Structure 1
Amino acid sequence: MSPALALGIAAALLALATIIGVVLRRRDGRRRAGGALRFDPTDAGATELGSRATLVQFSTETCARCPQVRRMLGAYASDHEGLRLLEIDLTHRPDLSARYKVLQTPTTFVVDDSGAVRARFHGVPQRHALTEAVAAV
């Protein structure tokens, strides 16, 4: 293989990796539809959901961004009437990652009072998107 061809392939791979990284970064923290999932509060060791909505954070012990999200969601829930925050550590409950289709941590669900997942966020939720998701419940 010629050096020019090898350099061209390396440059193309670098450009592709950069584009993929930018796309993934832009999608991080944005609101997505919840789909047809239903959340069971007993999975988080709780007996009931919040009267207005429940924020469910999926995390792991090794997640670097999970403590930041926990603090943000805790402050958000305490500032809004009827919101409750539940956290599930997937390190101890890996079966829940398959049930709720959680592929990365942190992942946050906005769940209505009937248990339907109304929105989901991968990564650190953007505050305005979180506000819109809670308002839609």
Structure 2
Amino acid sequence: MSPAVALLFAAALLVLAGAIGVVLRLRDGHRRAGGHLRFDPSDAGLSQLGSGTTLVQFSTEMCTRCPQVRRMLRSYVAESNGLDHIEVDLTHRPDLSARYKVLQTPTTFVVDGSGAVRARFHGVPHRHALNEALAAV
């Protein structure tokens, strides 16, 4: 392979990687449907969920954005009645990442009183999207 072709190939790979990164960054923090998932409170060491809405945050010890999301979700809980926040550390429970299809941390679920996942957010949730998800529950 000539150096010009190799350089062109490397440049194409860089452009492709950059485009994928931009697409993933644009999708980060947006609301996604919860699908047919149900959150089991025993996975967080609880016997049951509260009667209202629960924000379930999946994090790891090495997650750099998890403290920011934790503070944001706790501020929502402080401002709202009937809203709870649970944090599940996947470092010690990696089996839960497969069960709940968590591919990155932080991931946040909006869970109703019955345990149904009504919305999910990958990365840091956008405030307006989180407000809409909470209003929908």
Task: Give TM class, smaller chain.
Answer: over 0.9
For 1:105, give the aligned amino acid.
T
2:40 equivalent in structure 1: 40
1:134 equivalent in structure 2: 134
Q: Does 1:3 align with 2:9?
A: no
Report Cα offsets for 1:69-118 as digits up to 9, x if no partner. Answer: 11111111111111000000011111111111111111000001110000
> What is the root-mean-square deviation in Å for CA atoms of aligned residues?
1.0
Q: Does 1:109 align with 2:76?
A: no
> What TM-score, normalized to structure 1?
0.96
Q: CA offset at residue 47 of structure 1?
A: 2.8
Between the two proteins, the alignment pairs up a number of residues equal to 137
| Counterpart-to-counterpart distance in 1, 2:49 and 2:38 | 12
Matches within 5 A, 1:7-86: 7-86=7-86
For 2:134, give the aligned amino acid.
V
For 1:80, give the aligned amino acid.
S
| Counterpart-to-counterpart distance in 2, 1:131 and 1:49 | 20
In structure 2, stretches of 5+ residues that fail to align are none
Q: CA offset at residue 13 of structure 1?
A: 0.8
1:94 equivalent in structure 2: 94
| Counterpart-to-counterpart distance in 1, 2:116 and 2:134 | 13
> What TM-score, normalized to structure 2?
0.96
Report Cα offsets for 1:12-53 as digits up to 9, x if no partner. Answer: 111101100000000111100000000111211223323321
Q: CA offset at residue 57 of structure 1?
A: 0.2
- Extract structure 1 runs of 4+ deviating beyond 4 A: none
Q: Percent identity?
A: 77
For 2:80, give the aligned amino acid.
H
SS in 2 for 1:103: coil
